[in-house]
Chain A
Amino acid sequence: MLIVVNHIILMLADDMACNPRNPRPATVFNNANQHINVYGSDVEVDYRGDEVTVERLVRLLTGRLEPSTPPTKRLLTDDRSNVLIYMTGHGGDGFLKFQDAEEITSTELADAFEQMWQQRRYNNIFFMIDTCQAASMYEKFYSPNILAVASSQVGEDSLSHHLDSSLGVYVIDKYTYHALDFMEKLRKDSKKSMADFLRVCPRHQCVSTVGVRSDLFPRNPADVRVTEFFGSVRHVERTDRLVDLGDGDTETPVTVGTRVETAAPAPAGSYRYVAQFPVMS
């Protein structure tokens, strides 16, 4: 199961891989058996350390980024895009902690999604959250086409799966562990539905109760394939309409994939380099 790297925006506040306490430098494993290095060469961290703030996340979702932001740090979605949002960390009733200084509240997140909807930045959102009292984070959502799943109900703790005794740290949460287990068995042509995925980690495995919110989602999860959110499987539609790609001299927008770029205006006159060091007289 794979999503193309440049379609993932990864925000990591902690640099676990390069933390001096990590006995296996530059690696992060999914569990204590150390079979899968989840910090391999195919991982790109787009926002790291102090860059991971609530403001950045909301700006990223709503597209209100500085003009200089590179495309890899932008969401660049439109009304045909299915967006998967996965969050994990320390949560409480109605918030998720960011760094040690701030937190995003469920209301802020719901409002950000509503802005996205009004800006036509998504077709469907699948929202996954693995924190304590995780269900409180999706309760405030009010925008259409959102399917949400949470690892625990309000008032419940979300527990970790097991301890890595060489690290001295609990390495993976129960819900994420079982969700990952489910994913690992999938292929690109899998026919599994979202309803199957939402059944992952029943109470006897998770200890906490997995919460699902599907009232905003117009379709029956049993009819939605998992690959619509996971796996970069594009839905291709044929069209008979001729698309004018332009000839490069005009200033009309050129559509390339889902990204919109504006061609640079033709240079007026010739340019020359100025002296590298201005001569002071």
Chain B
Amino acid sequence: MNLQVLAQVNSFLAALVLLTAFAMLSQRKINSLVTLFAWQGLFLSINTAVVGFVASKHHLYISSLLTLSIKVILLPYILHVLVVRLKIRKEVETIVNIPTTMLIGIALVIFSYHLTAPVREMSTLITRSTLAVALATVMIGLLMMITRKHAVTQIIGFLAMENGLFFAATSATYGMPLVVELGVALDVLIAAFIFGIFFFHISTTFDSLSVEQMESLREDN
């Protein structure tokens, strides 16, 4: 396969990652959200493998496998268990309505492209054009955390942000050193466990997982 085709594949995967990010932004059902998150992880993992092949960096295969196992299988499973155990059946509640959120998301994508324009001109990597997508994914993840009321959706937003960061690392520099990636993967896994435990406590304390309830913890002045 020549490099041109691989660059095309890379761009295509980047587009898919961005698409899933938008899909997550618009999704109202929590189960579908988890599924979308798994899809995003899958695209990420394939992309990592492709980049590894292009750049002939073999450690990227390992991180691709890690992504596959953690972000596509393990984390969605944990989230799924969480949703079942906590009996979350309601639809995702949002603070800002979904069309507006989508519009803000589009603005963020344009902003990211504007921001990474100088980098695209300087860089010689074949993956350079995907940096903007990575940045946009990070910001859309953050946007999701802001606009959702429910704690579980906020966590998915957080994990989506992490996906974006990982994507930025692979596309900007052909990945971080393996040790760092292993550490990050472990961190994400442990974070998911901790979140899970916290959610059980929060839901028993407040009878709800809406983070708005936590406002009552504020110290009155």
A, B in one complex: no
